[in-house]
A and B are shown apart, each in its own frame.
Chain A
Amino acid sequence: MSEPRTTSLPILNNDGMTRRTALKAAGATLGAAAFAAAVAPITEWAASTSVDEFLQQHYRELSPEQLSEVLTRLEKETKEKYGADVTIKDHRPQEGVQFGYALNLSICVGCRKCAQACHEENNHDRASGNSYIRVLEMTQGSTDLEKGNVSYDHPVPQPGKYYMPVQCQQCDNPPCVDVCPVAATWKEDDGIVVVDYNWCIGCRYCEAACPYHARRFNWTAPEIPAEEINPNQSYLSNRIRPQGVMEKCTFCLHRTREGRLPACLEACPTGARVFGNLLDPESEIRYVLDNKRVFVLKEELGTRPRFFYFFDE
């Protein structure tokens, strides 16, 4: 523009308003608005996160005193947010125990009672119907997981079909652990892969890395009525997860590290599930591994699962 500039404010004299100024102003306004929108989740997140939680160390770096403080704080927060009295413990692996799980595909009828039991036991969000178990309806003669149907809604078992519940395989070579940029997930000494929900940044790399689609993301803060909350909780397991973090099956470590059977096994009406200590030669799981035709999912990936499938005949 070649017109002489005036000293008056551009808003009072339109002639003084150059295209450049207008674009700058518009850009600045849009930029500020975009920035505000972009940081909005952070301000909301900050409101829902206490200073103590923000400053908390990684689970494995906590001293016993710090851990006990954290557990007390989490119990208090659950009471405040959900109105439920819960006990959050820190269950540690047992010496001489390596967990293994096997599932009899000849027996499973696909009723999804295991998925329901998981939902209730692990304090999953009620609205999204989350569960660590997906039951695939498969065509006999094929083990192509991509052809499995999870949304079947007809009486089961259907002829020509078999049913394959899939949950975390607790791999001995877990790809999900390898990809975590902040080491918020790791494999414990008894074989269970766990997540420190307070350390997870929610990048979902692990969800992408898992070949079994076993990890879940908390898109929202779980909503559960107080009377439905399972009060027997563990830090690494079924305590109510915060929004924006990953979670996964922990073989119900809050039960199994107390010697109890997992909730999905107890719920199975056909007895298709076998759980136990791989190091105990007398255990049921060892009987299955020694005597049945056993296979693991996607063996070729080298993930070395702890979850086995078998047929009777």
Chain B
Amino acid sequence: MPLMTHSKRQRWTRLASPLALVGLLVLVGFAAWAASSGPVGPPAPALQTELPAQHPVVIHQPAGPPVIDTGLRDAKGQPITANCTTCHATREANRTTNDGAQLVDFHTGLHSNHGGLTCVSCHNDEENYSSLHRADGRPIAFEKQIQLCAQCHGPQHRDYVNGSHGGMTGYWDLTRGGRTRNTCTDCHDPHAPQIPLVQPVFAPRDRFLPPAIDHVGPQEGLIQQHFSSEPAHE
């Protein structure tokens, strides 16, 4: 049955491309005629059935340049934040810093575990602190971080472009609905991109398994070791 469907579809596609071409030519001719003779009407309905509209694939965007929590609170109790340029317009960055422990003032607590990169490997300290920069020095907006990451992570970027890296939600069939894709920093902390250890959720409650322990902390107890060293009774 799958084979039959396949061949049917192939036949259809072979037939469809010349049809689409003819449809396109007709439309171009029609558009030229309409442009010369008055306002353009709605597109020919025949074309819509030939080429179903593709819904957009939206890449989830980061909010924009990050802000630093000053540790202060305003009258309403909301944290007061500061833009990078608030300080760095006048204050030069230490270009050799490559470890969170070396950071002072507002940056304390930032951790960095991203190869041997320094802060200014990515952050733009030349002209606009509220942006990033490529390896060749050209600035790049925070919103376009994928291009920045892709400079070093080519294979991941290639797979991302082809849809086999990075999560998504929405429709597999773009003729029926759109799709939202994650950007790099949705899953990876840019300062420490390796996915951190997580406590798994939803322990199985199979009849043949020992009862699961819910909500255990990250510490490894004796019972947990017993579980993990035992093969599954599946």
Contact = CB atoms under 8 A, between A and B. Distances in A.
Interface of A: 94-98, 102, 104, 107, 109-113, 115-116, 119, 128-129, 131, 134-137, 146-157, 172, 189, 191, 213, 219, 256, 258-261, 265-266, 268-271, 273-277, 279, 283-284, 287-288, 291-292, 312
A219 B208 CA distance: 14
A150 B204 contact: yes
Contact of A259 (B6, B177, B202, B216): B177
Contacts of B90: none
Contacts of B227: 149, 151-153
**Listed residue (B173, B216, B228) with the most chain A CB atoms within 10 angstroms of its CB:** B173
A261 B169 contact: yes
Interface of B: 1-2, 5-6, 8-9, 12, 155, 159, 162-173, 175-177, 179, 182, 187, 195, 197-207, 209-210, 212-213, 216, 218, 220, 224, 227-228, 230-232, 234
Given A151-B212, A261-B171, A131 B2 contact: no
Contacts of B165: 104, 107, 271
B207 to A, nearest CB: 8
B164 A274 contact: yes
Contacts of A268: 167
Nearest to B12: A96
B167 A270 contact: yes
A152 B228 CA distance: 5
Contacts of A147: 231
A151 B199 contact: no
Nearest to A145: B234
Contacts of B170: 260-261
- Secondary structure at the B interface, as helix, strand, loop or mixed, is loop
B230 A149 contact: yes
Contact of A109 (B168, B171, B195): B195
A259 B179 CA distance: 11
Contacts of B159: 312
Nearest to A113: B201
B231 A146 contact: yes
B232 A269 contact: no
B164 A292 contact: yes
Contacts of A110: 200
Given A258-B176, A279-B5, A269 B200 contact: no
B202 A104 contact: no
A288 B164 contact: yes
Contacts of B198: 109, 111, 155-156
B228 A284 contact: no
Nearest to B181: A271
A155 B231 CA distance: 18
Given A110-B200, A156-B198, A277 B162 contact: no
Nearest to A281: B13
A189 B2 CA distance: 7
From B9, B165, B199, residue with most partner A Cβ within 10 Å = B165
Nearest to A291: B162
Nearest to B163: A284
Contacts of A150: 204, 206, 209, 232, 234
B210 to A, nearest CB: 7
B173 A155 contact: no
Contact of B172 (A95, A277, A288): A277
A104 B206 CA distance: 26
B200 A156 contact: yes
A96 B9 contact: yes
Contacts of B12: 96
B200 A153 contact: yes
